[in-house]
Amino acid sequence: MKGESTYLRNPDEPDEEPKKFTFDFSYWSHDGFEENADGYLGKANPNYADQMTVYNDLGKGVLKNAWEGFNTSLFAYGQTGSGKSWSIVGYGANKGIVPIFCEEIFVGIDEKKQAGDEAQYEVMFSMLEIYNEKVRDLLNPSKDKGGLRVRQHPKKGFYADGLMTVPVSEYKDIEQRMEEGTMNRTVASTNMNATSSRAHTIVGVTFTQKRKNEAGEETAKTSLINLVDLAGSERADSTGATGDRLKEGAAINQSLSSLGNVISALVDKANGKNVRVPFRDSVLTKLLKNALGGNSKTTMIAAISPADINYDETLSTLRYADRAKQIKTSAKVNEDPTEKLIRELKEENDKLMEMLKKAQAGEAVNLSADDDDDDDDDKQKEGMSEEELAELRKKSRKKLKHRWHKQRQATQDMNKNWNDRVAESKKDIKDKDAEKKERQSTPHLWNLNPDSQLTGMIVKMIKSGVVKVGNKKADPPADITLTGLKRKHCEIKNEGSKKITIKPCGEAKILVNGEPVDDDEEEELHHLDRVMLVQVICTSSITRLKSSRRL
């Protein structure tokens, strides 16, 4: 890296002139750092770009746009293991753009309030992942096992229907919600990167500023900020992936390929060509439509590897980013009278109610006006029997009813006092705080993971008495249920937190600190012991009541 340019040399052609790519910024963060006492990696070499350097160059622009009322998007693209999550989320003391940005929003709000600003500020938070072309709500993963449906609104564009968006009043709320979302992420291992998420993750922050204009009319300036951590692109032969992992990789590469096609088409369009932009080719490109070609100011981070064995992937990423920088978006300030927003919600609510009445009366109803526009229902109707058509109509009525309830809830939320909405959200957070406090006084198992973000996300309390561990088919049901175990795998005995023992059931295999536990033999567990239940594979540690050390 030299200034704003990145140079790439072909290891197979050392005499060949290096390829040059120029961007707004080119960062080097492979080496040249030193670890501070708090774990932060600071500069040991002036060429090293630490987390604050990246945030000051990129994150502050996102923050500025949010305050001005523009929609803003920032997404990271690159090969698996190249450092996308490091820049977007970060680890420990080395916070990435997302947590620093969220923290700075509330710092700005507090400063304005202290200066006497009478405006009302509202921050909403959501978190989703796209896994195998299905959208999962990371704040409410059990809501829809088949994934959320992507629909299209005439004004909002594509959106995930039913996505939970929660009000937050301070950075701590966002921190806890992000922890909750991280716990629910779909993660798997490949030989290339055992800690890489096998899904695209999108963090959404909606920032609304309400104030009265000179005419005394209340207006709302709203900014939707999308912070996107794309799954790593990779070749199957270099990862050793097979089976489900191979299917995941294929789905990821397909969606990234669709993203590449969209970028190419947008570049051609910016150059005056009359081309169709294939946003509908994947769930990812649908949800990123505004970020790439609509009402948004967008920043792209391309993460690359300096290793010579990754030359092809690095060259591909740089070319990808080089084309993306030619895309032109047309962002505008989102400011409307609050009354207008409420009126539009009510009109849409009335429209859905009318459609629902028609559907219940047996009349044909067209759902495509606010749907994913795939024409699936029309294709299904061809060659159907009367019974099948009746079942299809029943499903349509069910969808309409669900959408009507969602729209009605949105209208009620708009009319509800902001402080009341925050208070309702806080109740959920308090329940999670209570669980954290319970960990300090109750022995428990928690998972270990090579990815520090995922360590400690699964916690199983060991209550007094005998705790049975097995799979979901255990009869009677196990107290601790994990996949990959025998129905009755082991028993953990808690003698009033004075002594904790574990005993395998039958021929089930257990390792404690790497040593196997004999069949039907009790093994005493101590603070920070590592327990491996074979075939999970889940590594855990246990903390005892008398220990003050937090895990």
170-179: buried (b, 16+ CB within 10 Å) or exposed (e) per residue?
ebebbebbbe
Pairing of strands 41-43, 33-35: antiparallel
Rounded to 5 degrees, what angle do the CA atoms 543, 548, 551 make?
Answer: 50
Amino acid identity at 214: E
Give, for 319, the enclosing helix (H) or strand (E): helix 311-324
Q: d(Cα 302, Cα 289) in Å, to the nearest integer?
A: 19
**Does 80 carry a binding-site annotation?**
yes
Q: Can you tell me the distance from the alpha carbon of 480 to that of 260, in angstroms, rounded to the nearest whole number?
A: 44
Q: Is 316 annotated as a binding residue?
A: no
Structural contact between residues 137 and 163, judged by C-beta atoms closer than 8 angstroms: yes
79 annotated as belonging to a binding site for a ligand: yes
99-103 own/partner pairs: CB under 8 Å, 24+ apart: 99/174, 99/175, 99/178, 100/51, 100/52, 100/55, 100/59, 101/55, 101/59, 101/62, 101/63, 101/205, 101/225, 101/227, 102/171, 102/174, 102/175, 102/205, 103/171
Question: Both ends of the chain: CA-CA distance in Å?
Answer: 40
The verdict on whether residue 81 carries a ligand-binding annotation is: yes
d(CA 66, CA 208): 9
82 is in an annotated binding site: yes
The H-or-E segment that residue 300 falls in is strand 297-303
Question: Which of these, 255, 283, 282, 256, lies nearest to 160 by C-alpha position?
Answer: 283
Chain-centre distance for alpha carbon 124: 15
Calculate the dihedral angle through the C-alpha atoms of 271, 272, 274, 278, rounding to the nearest 10 degrees: 30
Partner residues linked to 314 by β-bridges: none
Placement of tokens 């990754």 in the chain: 310
Q: What are the CB-based long-range contacts (under 8 Å, 24+) for 470-476?
A: 470/505
409 marked as binding residue: no
Q: How far apart are CA 254 and CA 261, in angstroms?
A: 10
| DSSP alpha helix (H) spans, 4-129 | 51-54, 60-68, 84-88, 97-114
Find out whether 83 is annotated in a ligand binding site. yes
CA quadruple 48, 53, 57, 59: dihedral positive or negative? positive
247 annotated ligand binder: no
Q: How far apart are CA 276 and CA 273, in angstroms?
A: 10
- What CA–CA distance (Å, rounded) separates 195 from 429? 27
Instruction: Report the b/e string of 58-89 with b at 16+ CB within 10 A.
Output: bbebbbebbeebbbbbbbbbbbbbbbbbbbbb
Per-residue 3-state assignment (H helix, E strand, C coil) for 215-279: CCCEEEEEEEEEEEECCCECCHHHHCCCHHHHHHHHHHHHHHHHHHHHHHHHHHHHCCCCCCCCH
Kindly give, in sequence order, each residue whose CB lies less than 8 Å from that of residue 382, ignoring residues fewer than 6 positions away.
none
Phi-psi region of 116 (alpha: psi -120 to 50; beta: other; left: phi over 0): left
Q: Which residues are annotated as a binding site?
A: 78-85
Q: Which residues are annotated as a binding site for ATP?
A: 78-85
